[in-house]
Structure 1
Amino acid sequence: MIIPPSRDTVLCISLAGRPGTFGVRFHNHLYQQLGLDYYYKAMTTQDLPAAVAGIRALGVRGCGVSMPYKEACMALVDEVDPSAAAIESVNTLVNTAGHLKAYNTDYLAVRQLLAQHQLDPATGFALRGSGGMAKAVASALRDAGFAEGTIVARNEQAGRQLADVCGYRWLPELGDLCPPMLINVTPIGMAGGPEAQQLAFAETAIAAAEWVFDVVAMPERTPLIQAAQALGKPLITGLEVIALQALEQFVLYTGVRPSDAQVAAAVAYARDI
């Protein structure tokens, strides 16, 4: 049971176009486990500059930043950590006495997952997407030594720019290509969205792939993940990404690193909806 907030409770929030429940449950469960007087709430906004000014003025300690605000936040903070500066995309704000510093724990999470799954950097891939999260994933792949990649994006300007920055090629559609690893970094398959029931890649590409990676975390089993599981493909899921990035946010907000067992319990609680 979550302890009700008091006047001394430290507030943390998230800003997303479509707020989810994972972060709320994950953070609040860890606060409860560790006896921390913090409270976390998911929000959305139609006025990002005013929302960020409110974080500063009201003493909100931390803020998770999701689509579509990740890039626009860059111009609204006082300091940018190298994890965000290198890719010009933000997913975390930390407020210290009115000084806002931006981080990108998505990037850190993906780097960890590539290592944990022991993916060979020689593996070629196609990454669908060109937004803030796509920048984090593509940059993590580049920095982990993955040299053969294709950015698939309908937005030619954003797609070409991301491909050029990371040293990959750009295509508007994957077409008949069947790369060894498929990575979805778009809202395709996201619960509640207009493309919730769609596959991010063609069935032929999924069947030919050696690895499938979907950053969409809600639902845990997206249409892409379901199709890959049915074929017995090795997976990296959005739940893995969101759990790792949320953990790093928690540490930034509180200065406390929970044990592996505490994190596992928080993840289990957050996904039990």
Structure 2
Amino acid sequence: MSISHLYGLLGYPLGHSFSKKYFTEKFEKWGLSESHSYEQFEIPQIEDFLTLKSAHKGQLKGLNVTIPYKQQIMSLLDEIDPAAAKIGAVNTIKIFPDGKTKGFNTDYWGFRQTIESWDAFPEFKSKKAVVLGQGGAAKAIIAALEDLGITVWKVSRTPVEGQISYEDLAAAMDEVGLIVNSTPLGMYPNIDSFPPIDYHLLNNQHYLYDIVYNPLRTAFLEKGVAQGVGGVYEGLEMLHGQADKAWEIWNA
């Protein structure tokens, strides 16, 4: 077996990821497993990306990027798609035959399509949305929500300009419809962790979305259900949506 088309996931650590399983099953289904492979590339520092690319020259066709490199990777790429540049984060890299690289953001599409297709969307679209976290995924989620005309509050433990604290959020929870966890809190193996919001303030006007997909039902979502929230959305469909968009880009 000779792998001519290599893809993979760039990040550190990667024990939580389902991406390899998802693409491996796709390649088997499409009859591509003899020539196509998807691997996990755990790199302890972002500069190792250049070594990785050189080691697989001509073979490596594309990469997904996850925590903690969605912003750091941008300075090492030859070109950034304008939409990804506007968001300020890259989670998909296309590698051209000449070795040049271009960064894209497919988190935006993975999140937006799930939000728009959620039957609860009409219930919360006229209220404020809260995004917990400040990483690359949060940037894509904020852009998608704002493009849908939803006012977004960015929440941080140590807020800077344009963000609010968890204490501020508690005082204004009656204005909120959607709360999105874009932090890794609750992700395997730390499945008992969760964002520090005041869960007792949640009720059926609130809808919770967690981008964490391992486990499928996080402590954040479970605590919301226990408080009688209007609905919850698990992160696996966002993963699939962004992965499918990445595959489309790699083969364009």
Structures share fold, TM-score greater than 0.5: yes
Mapping for residues 179-258 of structure 1, pairs under 5 Å: 179-193=176-190, 196-200=191-195, 201-207=197-203, 209-230=205-226, 231=228, 233-255=230-252
CA–CA distance in structure 2, aligned partners of residues 96 and 14 of structure 1: 17
State whether residues 70 and 90 of structure 1, in contact with CA within 8 Å, keep that contact through their aligned partners in structure 2.
yes
State whether residues 8 and 38 of structure 2, in contact with CA within 8 Å, keep that contact through their aligned partners in structure 1.
yes
Per-residue CA distance 1:145-190 (angstroms, 9 max, x = gap) = 102x311112434xx3xx4xxxxxx212133332222111111111
CA–CA distance in structure 2, aligned partners of residues 44 and 206 of structure 1: 38
State whether residues 138 and 182 of structure 2, in contact with CA within 8 Å, keep that contact through their aligned partners in structure 1.
yes
Q: Secondary structure at the match of 1:46?
A: coil
State whether residues 182 and 209 of structure 1, in contact with CA within 8 Å, keep that contact through their aligned partners in structure 2.
no
Task: Tell me which residue corresponds to 1:85.
Answer: 85
Q: Percent identity, aligned pairs only?
A: 26
Task: Tell me which residue corresponds to 1:17.
Answer: 12
Task: Tell me which residue corresponds to 2:164.
Answer: 171
Task: Tell me which residue corresponds to 1:28.
Answer: 24
Per-residue CA distance 1:216-239 (angstroms, 9 max, x = gap) = 111111011222334363222211
Query: In structure 2, do the counterparts of structure 1 residues 43 and 209 end up closer, same or farther at CA, with 3 Å as the change threshold?
Result: farther
Residue 137 (structure 2) pairs with residue 141 (structure 1): no
Q: Secondary structure at the match of 2:47?
A: helix
CA–CA distance in structure 1, aligned partners of residues 251 and 54 of structure 2: 17
Q: Counterpart amino acid of 1:112?
A: Q
Runs of 4+ in 1 over 6 A off after TM superposition: none
Query: In structure 2, do the counterparts of structure 1 residues 146 and 226 end up closer, same or farther at CA, with 3 Å as the change threshold?
Result: same
Query: In structure 2, do the counterparts of structure 1 residues 103 and 152 end up closer, same or farther at CA, with 3 Å as the change threshold?
Result: same
Q: Counterpart amino acid of 1:43?
A: F
Which range moves more in the overlay, 245-254 or 47-56? Answer: 47-56
State whether residues 63 and 93 of structure 1, in contact with CA within 8 Å, keep that contact through their aligned partners in structure 2.
yes
Task: Tell me which residue corresponds to 1:42.
Answer: 40
TM-score if structure 1 supplies the norm length?
0.80
Query: In structure 2, do the counterparts of structure 1 residues 155 and 38 end up closer, same or farther at CA, with 3 Å as the change threshold?
Result: farther
RMSD, matched Cα: 1.9
Q: Secondary structure at the match of 2:170?
A: coil
- Bigger proportion of residues as helix: 1
CA–CA distance in structure 2, aligned partners of residues 209 and 43 of structure 1: 41
CA–CA distance in structure 2, aligned partners of residues 155 and 107 of structure 1: 25
Residue 92 (structure 2) pairs with residue 95 (structure 1): no
CA–CA distance in structure 2, aligned partners of residues 233 and 85 of structure 1: 35
Task: Tell me which residue corresponds to 1:107.
Answer: 108
Query: Would you say how many aligned residue pairs link Structure 1 and Structure 2?
Result: 237
Q: Counterpart amino acid of 2:240?
A: A
TM-score if structure 2 supplies the norm length?
0.86
State whether residues 83 and 105 of structure 1, in contact with CA within 8 Å, keep that contact through their aligned partners in structure 2.
no
Mapping for residues 113-128 of structure 1, pairs under 5 Å: 113-117=114-118, 119-120=121-122, 121-128=125-132
What are the ranges of 5 or more consecutive residues in structure 2 without an aligned counterpart?
Answer: none
Q: Secondary structure at the match of 2:150?
A: coil
What are the ranges of 5 or more consecutive residues in structure 1 without an aligned counterpart?
Answer: 1-5, 164-169, 256-273
Per-residue CA distance 1:7-32 (angstroms, 9 max, x = gap) = 34311110122213410010010011
Query: 1:57, CA displacement in angstroms?
Result: 5.3
Q: Counterpart amino acid of 1:45?
A: I
Residue 150 (structure 2) pairs with residue 153 (structure 1): no
CA–CA distance in structure 1, aligned partners of residues 61 and 207 of structure 2: 38
CA–CA distance in structure 1, aligned partners of residues 136 and 17 of structure 2: 21
Q: Counterpart amino acid of 2:30?
A: L
State whether residues 94 and 103 of structure 2, in contact with CA within 8 Å, keep that contact through their aligned partners in structure 1.
yes
Q: Counterpart amino acid of 2:117?
A: Q
Q: Counterpart amino acid of 1:142?
A: E
Q: Counterpart amino acid of 2:38?
A: Y
